[in-house]
């Protein structure tokens, strides 16, 4: 869809990915889609009771969004114990075990299988892989302590997801705790000693989006501008979508600041009342010039480009045999064996 054909209300709505309650469509959910024109929904575990029911929900919400602005239907499916959709799907090994197995072909194949099964449910965006290095906390979510190995397996996972037509949204930029900022800013991004190196490689190999840690907005506006615009846009040359991690804030000014800083999409993880209040406030901020329409247009162009590239909105008919295929389970077994030997 041409951005010039969109109303201001439609453009502002596209900036938001929202969560919702329940496993079926509700009046509130349809209102967010048809009136506020949200850009996407996020499926959490509480939204999933059965694969066929989830497929029906995906089909239904895309039907209501059929005005030319199909929805990103996002989730988090990292593997291991970090999966919003678990029962009935092939579950990948954790990233740590994939790192131990250290076979990039297997990592790519595993991501492609996960992506194919997600896409068969209508899910077209995965907040994965994690591209940070192990730090002694929750280490099963990270490929390795070695930056180069993280980059190589990260690229392999991205290639797998993207081949399955699932948008890979890598995380967490620049790192989880925003420590060692001097190192991040001073070392060239294409050096294997830089914590940004895995993100640099991910961008070169087609990641659709980057999930930024909310920590960068808690320090100063200058820091967020430095990291998002000077580092990510200019030095790393990323022109895809910058997405915030889950925001539970009710502070509308914070959301406005995120957009002003250069974020393209806000993952608004809060209740319906706060969601419509926030979207309405951002719309008013654009109308009054607090946020420029040019700033909004930059983001919407990126969002629409990704949606067009991935044929967002298309959902195949439901077939139970698309899930947990024998070859998929055999690959999991091979990876378990390889990771065990390596350990």
Per-domain boundaries in the chain: 13-342
- What is the percent of the chain where pLDDT is above 90? 76
Rounded distance between C-alpha atoms, residue 72 and residue 120, angstroms: 14
Mean pLDDT of 81-108: 96
- What does the pLDDT read at residue 222? 52
Rounded distance between C-alpha atoms, residue 267 and residue 244, angstroms: 6
- What does the pLDDT read at residue 254? 87
Is residue 172 classed as helix, strand or coil in its secondary structure? strand
Q: What is the CATH architecture assignment of 13-342?
A: Alpha-Beta Barrel (3.20)
Confidence of residue 122 (pLDDT cuts 50, 70, 90): very high
pTM here is 0.95
Rounded distance between C-alpha atoms, residue 48 and residue 131, angstroms: 27
Tens of pLDDT, residue by residue over 149-185, are 999 999 999 999 999 999 999 999 987 665 556 667 7
């Amino acid at each position: 869809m041409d951005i010039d054909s969109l109303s201001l209300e439609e453009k502002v709505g596209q900036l938001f990915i929202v969560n919702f309650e329940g496993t079926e469509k509700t009046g509130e959910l349809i209102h967010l889609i048809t009136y506020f024109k949200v850009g996407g929904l996020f499926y959490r575990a509480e939204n999933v009771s059965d694969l066929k029911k989830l497929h029906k929900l995906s089909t239904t919400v895309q039907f209501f969004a059929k005005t030319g602005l199909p929805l990103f239907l996002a989730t988090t499916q990292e593997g291991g114990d970090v999966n919003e959709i678990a029962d009935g799907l092939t579950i990948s090994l954790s990233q740590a075990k994939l790192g131990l197995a250290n076979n990039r072909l297997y990592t790519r194949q595993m991501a492609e299988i996960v992506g194919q099964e997600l896409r068969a449910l209508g899910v077209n965006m995965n907040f994965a892989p994690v591209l940070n290095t192990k730090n002694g906390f929750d280490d099963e979510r990270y490929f390795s302590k070695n930056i180069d190995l993280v980059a190589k397996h990260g690229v392999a996972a991205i290639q797998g997801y993207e081949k399955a037509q699932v948008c890979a949204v890598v995380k967490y930029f620049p790192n989880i705790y925003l420590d060692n900022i001097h190192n991040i800013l001073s070392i060239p991004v294409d050096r294997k000693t830089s914590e940004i190196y895995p993100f640099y490689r991910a961008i070169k190999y087609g990641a659709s989006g980057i999930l930024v840690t909310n920590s960068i907005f808690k320090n100063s506006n200058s820091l967020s501008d430095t990291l998002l615009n000077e580092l990510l846009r200019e030095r790393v040359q990323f022109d895809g979508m910058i997405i915030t991690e889950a925001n539970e804030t009710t502070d509308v000014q914070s959301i406005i600041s995120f957009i002003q800083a250069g974020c393209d999409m806000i993952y608004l993880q809060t209740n319906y009342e706060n969601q419509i209040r926030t979207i309405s406030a951002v719309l008013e901020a654009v109308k009054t010039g607090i946020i420029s329409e040019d700033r909004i247009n930059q983001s919407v162009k990126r969002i629409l480009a990704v949606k067009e590239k991935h044929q967002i909105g298309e959902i195949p008919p439901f077939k139970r045999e698309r899930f947990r295929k024998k070859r998929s389970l055999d690959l999991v077994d091979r990876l378990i064996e390889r990771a065990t030997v390596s350990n």
